[in-house]
Chain A
């Protein structure tokens, strides 16, 4: 393939010593602190960093654009000889949509619901008189076809809400490419997509960028994704550059410790063990939301003291299964056996003891804690409710649990708003532990966190399992997390169990079709992965 070996042209974009501030909490805070960036014609630069690193702000600044409430305080942005910080808004506007275009993270809300896709795709090109209307529309249909959208001749006549998320993201790429820009900014374009959809969108974007030899800045938090797209990668943290180098070199020989931490979860792994007896048996369970049946004959066995991961894409029914186990969604047929005894389907029919023994941790720790309660109250409540600990005794126990999750008593009086993302999730773990449960259901508990924080949480969960013998049902869509933590794996698809088995069995061939698709769609830390994947798809 051509990407990695193509010759880049002269310098297109040169940003020097950029400082950007944003207004929040009544003061100006620095978001970007003195960044440089150089991009040649035809080059794709990956911009990678964790949440809050300032990568989107920098990406938009490359177009001379700042979000409302932000300002560029210092630095120069030279785009093909034009100094963007000095020209008028009108001049900038004549560059936007013609010479530089933007692909947003969420296509679903970035398209105007009132207009047809093809009109939105071609508007910039027509306005700038790059092409006539007829020519622009023909060209758009060709772009749709290049991007492998279904029915490229007619899909443009549809409205945004009439096509799927993955298709919409490809339409937005077509829109960005329509005026044949010199530069495209991709801002986390695949983050909101399912993994099997992501592969297709990635391949389409790669193809079109290669074909027109357009320069691009690709912003993401996922190193494996950016490895497929970029020639060079720049790592950012707290608005500063950590390092920049060619993609292959970055993956094989990163210079900075921080860069390695970006794939820290991938390096975790757990020795699987076969469980002896089952603590929970889900037998032939069906469930429905109203008339809409969402679970079909689910059979899952959860061995005591082990971790079973439920894997699948959105809509596969993994979270619904958890709701059935907790009793939030009463099953319509089948039964859930806990310690060999059938649990009442409805939560209100379960005893306090049954409720105590099954606890749940959520994806968004932010919404899982009452913002008006202190850490002490949050962890103390289950102690009081289930075990009757009050006063001094409760306080002492809360501090024990804080230490167990590697925090200390200084956190006792804090409110959730005063904690970091990882700390919040730890408090949620402690609250679940305080009930002294046998089984904890972890619903995407690490997906909202940065890699290094994820690693810490996963290690904590594994340590707690070793020490306390807790059983986990671990719900996730992320395969590297599954590798890191599970003993057994259950693959789910459209409300059905595709297969269940030990991790090693599931991850080694032969696979059922869906497992094969799911596993093969997960990008790997190898710049050739996407090429190989698409090649094997075409041949197979």
Chain B
């Protein structure tokens, strides 16, 4: 027996030099170190949320309120003028925040419920069900999603419900793939085997052992998928097969006012009008992307320079 084991104690062993902090404290410290881009993103998102919730109080006119003059120039009365049938562009922009963002958010959540749930089940069962789901997803993903969405939209009646369901189902394939692959990384961990050996139910293992450990990549993916869904819906609406009038929506607003751009040489403000809703879309996606970038950097601990 060696002498130096005399003064050896298990409790005295040096663990990692991390100070203990609650999750809240860690989040606060992380926030303090957030780069300017992430702050910019968070402020923009906060503004969008505020506008979406309080749209009726902020907007000077109603969503579908029609005034006699179409294509009214920018003025004190109509801040961004009126559109092709005389609706106030500024009010429609504000209502658009509620409609466009709300629908995209709802679609993304639905896609995550479908794709995430099935992905978890597939990863855990690793049986015929996994094979079946994975093959089905392979086939769905071998058709570009915008094209597939167009096919389905040509069949189902044009309504917000069918739009949401179609995009959610198509997008859930990507969520399925990601959830399945990150969950597979966790499923092979010895602590999952321990729980399984102990005799725990699958539901318990999913909820307690797997879900908490796949949350960070899923949260990041939620941000990215939201952007993707948001852009897809905007594109479909722009193409005239997405959100239908008179609902105010940024994608269709671009389409409706597009012809104004030719007059930019004569009246720059009129030329900018169709770009306003497009810029509103772009600004939100940029903001979300900045936040996601920072979040991934934070949680993965992976840095490029290592």
Residues of A388-418 whose CB lies within 8 A of B: 405-408, 410-411, 413-414, 417-418
**CB atoms of B11 and A406 under 8 A apart:** yes
Question: What chain B residues lie within 8 Å of A422 (beta carbons)?
Answer: 10, 13
Question: What chain B residues lie within 8 Å of A69 (beta carbons)?
Answer: 305-306
Q: Given A260-B2, A267-B1, A372-B212, are A406 and B9 also a contact pair (CB < 8 Å)? A: yes
Question: What chain A residues lie within 8 Å of B4 (beta carbons)?
Answer: 257-258, 260-261, 452
Question: Which of B1, B190, B193, B209 has the most CB atoms of chain A within a 10 A radius of its CB?
Answer: B190
**CB atoms of B8 and A456 under 8 A apart:** yes
- Answer yes or no: A369 CB below 8 A from chain B CBs: yes
Whose C-beta in chain B lies nearest to the C-beta of A414?
Answer: B20
CA distance A360 to B5 in the complex (A): 27
**CB atoms of A406 and B198 under 8 A apart:** no
Per-residue CB proximity of A89-102 to B under 8 Å, as 1/0? 00000000000000
CA distance A442 to B10 in the complex (A): 19
Question: What chain A residues lie within 8 Å of B3 (beta carbons)?
Answer: 257, 260
Residues of B9-45 whose CB lies within 8 A of A: 9-11, 13-16, 18, 20, 33
CA distance A459 to B6 in the complex (A): 13
Whose C-beta in chain A lies nearest to the C-beta of B209?
Answer: A370
Q: Given A418-B20, A423-B13, A456-B5, are A367 and B191 also a contact pair (CB < 8 Å)? A: yes
Whose C-beta in chain B lies nearest to the C-beta of A67?
Answer: B306
**CB atoms of B2 and A264 under 8 A apart:** yes
- Answer yes or no: B54 CB below 8 A from chain A CBs: no
CA distance A181 to B273 in the complex (A): 72
Question: What chain B residues lie within 8 Å of A268 (beta carbons)?
Answer: 1
**CB atoms of B213 and A408 under 8 A apart:** no
- Answer yes or no: A328 CB below 8 A from chain B CBs: yes
CA distance A364 to B189 in the complex (A): 10
**CB atoms of B2 and A419 under 8 A apart:** no
**CB atoms of A261 and B2 under 8 A apart:** yes
CA distance A327 to B189 in the complex (A): 17
Residues of B169-195 whose CB lies within 8 A of A: 189-191, 193-194
**CB atoms of B197 and A360 under 8 A apart:** yes
Query: Distance in Å from the Cβ of B275 to the closest Cβ of chain A?
Result: 41
Question: What chain A residues lie within 8 Å of B213 (beta carbons)?
Answer: 370-372
Counting chain A residues whose Cβ lies within 8 A of the other chain, the interface size class is 35 or more
Question: What chain A residues lie within 8 Å of B13 (beta carbons)?
Answer: 420, 422-423, 453
Query: Distance in Å from the Cβ of B171 to the closest Cβ of chain A?
Result: 28
CA distance A258 to B8 in the complex (A): 11
Q: Given A370-B209, A406-B10, are A418 and B196 also a contact pair (CB < 8 Å)? A: no
**CB atoms of A68 and B199 under 8 A apart:** no
Q: Which of A382, A408, A418 contacts B11 (CB 8 A)?
A: A408
Q: Which of A257, A261, A328, A405 contacts B10 (CB 8 A)?
A: A405
Whose C-beta in chain A lies nearest to the C-beta of B18?
Answer: A418
**CB atoms of B10 and A456 under 8 A apart:** yes
**CB atoms of A382 and B18 under 8 A apart:** no
- Answer yes or no: B267 CB below 8 A from chain A CBs: no
**CB atoms of B10 and A367 under 8 A apart:** no
For the complex of A and B, the 6 pairs showing the least CB-CB separation, nearest first, are: A368-B190, A420-B13, A372-B212, A257-B4, A420-B15, A362-B190
- B residues contacting A by CB (< 8 A) are 1-5, 8-11, 13-16, 18, 20, 33, 189-191, 193-194, 196-200, 208-209, 212-213, 305-306
Can you name 5 A-B residue pairings with CB atoms under 8 Å? A367-B190, A373-B208, A382-B198, A407-B11, A420-B14
